[in-house]
A and B are shown apart, each in its own frame.
Chain A
Amino acid sequence: MKPLHIIVCVKPVPDFRSPVEFDQKTKTVKRGNVATVINPLDKNALEAALQLKESFGGKVTALSMAPPFAESVLREVLAFGADEAFLLSDPAFAGSDTLATAYVLAQGVKKIRDFDLVITGAASTDGNTAQVGPQVAEHLGLPHASFVTQVKRHSEHSLELTLKTEEGTILAEIDLPALITVSREINEPRTLGLFGIAAAAAKPLHILGSSDLEVDPERVGEKGSPTRIADIREVSFARKSELHEGTPEAISLLVKKFREWGVI
């Protein structure tokens, strides 16, 4: 079967283990001193691409839209085994919502060209919309499948996919070129090896701005983003709560309450 050129969309996200701060004035998330990591599901996306490449030959290209500081994240992606990386970075892209982000990524894919498959994570840990994948597909006119848990080559020009549903799974076939978004169940991402880290330094990493891509300035950044955050409100689910030290008395009182509430 013919080798596959796979593009993996990788989103640099703030490490969710560090606290996220929200700036009430600018209504944006403060990213200042938070560590940046690869969105966890994008590691699964990358792993899926690397496994396909190992089976059929070809090439894995990483694609990301992020500020220049995300270069280190793309270096890491190269260390995992991607062959080449593109970082789309331009002040004009700031403030993009999912539609505008997907548009920029789609223009990046067009620039990379000659691909068979685009893989994204199903969702990111910060945006968590699960929208960017299907939207990149639509911008490129590609068929898409979301929440993929298994991928196999079905024929020269198609893949067999297992998709998650509420009740179980769906087995589907998708013609290439296509875009798939992957779920955690698809694989166990490999760990970073020293050899990979050494090799990464020599691999091509391109940083492209608006002028390197064919982007319509009306369709990127805040201008190109139909959604707005109108307001941020504190919500309170507070109840009349009683707090006890963890003594045996507090525990027997709780068991009494369980009786009262009819749950034991």
Chain B
Amino acid sequence: MDNQGLKASSDIWVFAEQKNKRLAGVVYELLAPGRRLSDKLGGSLASVLIGYDVSDLAEELLACGVDVVYKVDAPPLAHYNSWLYPRILEKLVKENPPNSLLIGATYAGMSLAPALAARLGVGCSAHCVNLDVDDHGNLLQYVPGFGGSLMAIIISPYSRPQIATIKQGVFTKTESKPGIKKGMIREVAFEFTGPIPVKVLEIKQEKHAGMPLEKAKVVVAGGAGVGSKEGWAKIEELAALMGGAVGATRPAVDEGWAKESQMIGQSGKTVRPELYIGVGISGDIQHTVGIQDAQKIVAINNNPKAPIFKMADYGIVGDYKEIVPLLIEAIAQEKN
């Protein structure tokens, strides 16, 4: 594939996903790496804001230090629309191609990014956990992969712009400071005719039961080693006793012990609790990228060679069926 795609500038764009007149959390997370990369390339940091009645959000982006906000504001754009958004971005990108476009790996982002990449015929990586650029302006897209402790670096050397979706929770949020506004807003007219084959009929907010994983001080996570639904109840009991939330690895979700929203790792959540306890978890990179920033890590596993022990502050070798009940008892006593 030779020189596919467009002649690009050195700018970095961040897609400013918004919902109900608020920017998605991941947008704030992408601004710092966006700034770092654009500085390295010698370009500027721009953001694309698509929505309806979103002037306040454009100001908010400027207050976060963005140089240019491309704003497309029209009633049909109020919510993410998988037909309109990729088309609008395609037009913007073709008019003023950036070096790279960073998109949060949210549900909307995971629909938008590949669709846009296909429309442009350019490369797109998924669920990056780190980003950098090389001397040729190639975006280095770090994606945990292939099991074990391997990290793949993906590049799209011959196509521009480069598109990456970035996992939520890996970068630190930029705070808005109204005093620092120096960028500008570029209104882009919404010109679209023709039928729109996808319509949003209704948005339903759901109250999630229990403590959100990302906010919990203590996370007790279980893996394939837990072995059964009954065993899983012990994980939940330990978490409840410590006032924590329950997390899971993918096999535990596949077994139906835990919900998908409880999955931690590359395709799940990133957690930064004060304490993470992993029970019956081997410590595969696809899981551990989601826990590496925990302040303390405790692992319980019956295999002394389990990789998770290497990254644990405190490891206990043994059958969790014996250890966890003893631990529950000991904590309950300590609390009294």
User: Which A residues are within 8 Å of any B CB, using their own CB?
Assistant: 16, 19-20, 22, 29, 40, 97-99, 102, 123, 128-135, 137-139, 143-147, 160, 163-175, 178, 183-185, 218, 223-246, 248, 250-252, 254-255, 257-259, 261-264
Stretch from B6-14, B53-61, B91-99, B313-321 forming part of the interface with A: B313-321
For the complex, count residues of B whose C-beta is within 8 A of A: 94
The interface residues of chain A lying within 8 Å CB-to-CB of B86 are 138
Which single residue of chain B is at the shortest CB-CB distance from A188?
B256
Partner of A131, one of B117, B119, B155, B319: B117
A-B contact pairs, 18 of them (CB 8 A): A19-B147, A130-B126, A131-B114, A144-B82, A145-B82, A146-B82, A169-B203, A171-B204, A175-B195, A225-B123, A226-B4, A228-B157, A229-B154, A230-B138, A241-B310, A242-B315, A251-B323, A254-B330
B107 contacts A228, C-beta separation under 8 Å: no
A145 contacts B198, C-beta separation under 8 Å: yes
Instruction: Report the bound CA distance from A20 to B284 in whole Å.
Output: 11
Stretch from B36-44, B69-77, B185-193, B293-301 forming part of the interface with A: B293-301
Contacts A40-B254, A135-B115, A232-B150; A244 near B201 (Cβ below 8 A): no
Instruction: Report the bound CA distance from A169 to B154 in whole Å.
Output: 32
Partner of A226, one of B123, B148, B205: B123
A232 contacts B217, C-beta separation under 8 Å: no
Q: Would you give the shortest CB distance from B87 to chain A, in whole angstroms?
A: 10
The interface residues of chain A lying within 8 Å CB-to-CB of B318 are 245-246
Instruction: Report the bound CA distance from A244 to B327 in whole Å.
Output: 14
Which single residue of chain B is at the shortest CB-CB distance from A225?
B1
Q: Would you give the shortest CB distance from A149 to chain B, in whole angstroms?
A: 11
Instruction: Report the bound CA distance from A178 to B310 in whole Å.
Output: 48
Q: Would you give the shortest CB distance from A246 to chain B, in whole angstroms?
A: 3
B154 contacts A264, C-beta separation under 8 Å: no
B306-333 residues with Cβ-Cβ distance < 8 A to A are 309-319, 322-323, 326-327, 330-331
Contacts A20-B147, A225-B1, A243-B309; A138 near B154 (Cβ below 8 A): no
Interface of B is mostly: mixed
B64 within 8 A of A: no
B107 contacts A262, C-beta separation under 8 Å: no
A242 contacts B151, C-beta separation under 8 Å: no
The A-B contact count (CB < 8 A) is 256
B110 contacts A227, C-beta separation under 8 Å: no
B121 contacts A226, C-beta separation under 8 Å: yes
B228 within 8 A of A: no
Instruction: Report the bound CA distance from A164 to B106 in whole Å.
Output: 10
B121 contacts A258, C-beta separation under 8 Å: no
B174 within 8 A of A: no
A239 contacts B297, C-beta separation under 8 Å: yes
Instruction: Report the bound CA distance from A40 to B260 in whole Å.
Output: 14
Contacts A170-B204, A226-B4, A239-B311; A261 near B295 (Cβ below 8 A): yes
Q: Would you give the shortest CB distance from B122 to chain A, in whole angstroms?
A: 6
Instruction: Report the bound CA distance from A264 to B327 in whole Å.
Output: 13
B111 within 8 A of A: yes
Residue picked from B117, B311, B312, most chain A C-beta under 10 Å: B117
B172 within 8 A of A: no
Instruction: Report the bound CA distance from A160 to B250 in whole Å.
Output: 30
Contacts A146-B82, A227-B124; A135 near B150 (Cβ below 8 A): no
Contacts A166-B106, A241-B313; A99 near B111 (Cβ below 8 A): no
The interface residues of chain B lying within 8 Å CB-to-CB of A99 are 117-118, 121-124
The interface residues of chain A lying within 8 Å CB-to-CB of B218 are 263
Instruction: Report the bound CA distance from A87 to B201 in whole Å.
Output: 37
A237 contacts B292, C-beta separation under 8 Å: yes
B23 within 8 A of A: no
The interface residues of chain A lying within 8 Å CB-to-CB of B157 are 228
Closest CB pairs A-B (n = 9): A246-B318, A226-B123, A131-B114, A168-B206, A138-B118, A175-B197, A129-B126, A143-B197, A227-B123
B4 contacts A143, C-beta separation under 8 Å: no
